[in-house]
Amino acid sequence: MSSDELLIFTDLDGTLLDHGSYSWAPAQPTLDQIAADDIPLIFCSSKTCSEILELRGQLNNHHPFITENGSAVYLPAGYFDAGQGSREGEYEKRLFSLERARIIQILSELRAEYGYRFRGFQDMSVSVLAESTGLPPEAAEKAKQRDCSEPIQWLDEEQTLLTFRRQLAQQGLRLLRGGRFHHVMGETDKGVAIQWLIQRYQQRWPERRYTSVALGDSPNDQGMLEAVDIPVVIEPARGEPLRLEHSDRVIYAGAKGPVGWQNMMKMILASQNTNSNS
């Protein structure tokens, strides 16, 4: 093993999971190797706790995870020493945002006052949400169980969005663009949450030297990618790959979803092994 240990943070939709089919199959060989080497693989997604719990079960993952674009971090009980945050069943939960009920209240006040046209998860039935995301109804139900963010489809002019964004900021909220939705949430992002989590690892195991890797495909991954040692930009399902202004170490996968993920993580694991043997 290298003296540096990896911490891998990954976005899910359009990165580890195919944008259309939600399959991770092309990445399975490297997922197996990461599990065999006992490298922390931390899901960091716009998804909710209940959605990520299901995927962690399917992938047999036992590491902490970050929900709703950095709005909350869940730590399995006993993973680190007992720490801050409230207990949620088997997990310790740390919130980085306002609660969702307050966010929905602010959104409906803005809509009532300015007549904005948008549609949030709150406004959609499970079947409408399933239709607009391509998720099966059970999964859409899980996507609606949110702690502290509200995804919206913007149905108004693109120009009006700037004013809307400013008004949200005055209320301590931000608007992040994801693959399908804009996410209204507190003054946090995936980068804030992973910096906090990297510190937890470092405090718990001060003798270890960590190299952090993050993989993502959308603007909501920007903060996460800029917070790590090795940022990997996965080709998005649509449009141009994300450009990172503040990082010269960025690796562009040149392939979409789990195919790009597999290629890049295979390369990074191989170079770690080479470094440790040299």
Q: Interface residues with Mg ion (CB under 5 A)?
A: 11, 13-15, 179, 217-218
Nearer to Mg ion, 30 or 218 (CB): 218
Residue among 70, 169, 39, 69 at smallest CA distance from 110 = 169
Catalytic hit among 4, 11, 32, 147: 11
Cα-Cα-Cα-Cα dihedral sign, residues 223, 228, 232, 234: negative
239: left (phi over 0), alpha (psi -120 to 50) or beta: left
Q: Nearest distance from residue 179's CB to Mg ion, in Å?
A: 5
Q: In Å, what is the CA distance from 134 to each residue of 21, 58, 137, 180? A: 8, 19, 9, 11
Place of tokens 């290629």: 263
11 has catalytic annotation: yes
The length of the chain in residues reads 278
Q: Nearest distance from residue 22's CB to Mg ion, in Å?
A: 11
CA distance 28 to 34: 10
Q: Which of the 8 DSSP states describes residue 270?
A: H
Q: Nearest distance from residue 24's CB to Mg ion, in Å?
A: 13
Q: Nearest distance from residue 142's CB to Mg ion, in Å?
A: 17
Residue nearest to Mg ion (CB): 14
Nearer to Mg ion, 179 or 260 (CB): 179
Nearer to Mg ion, 190 or 200 (CB): 190
CA distance 153 to 120: 6
Nearer to Mg ion, 5 or 11 (CB): 11
Residue among 72, 77, 101 at smallest CA distance from 196 = 72
* Catalytic residue list: 11
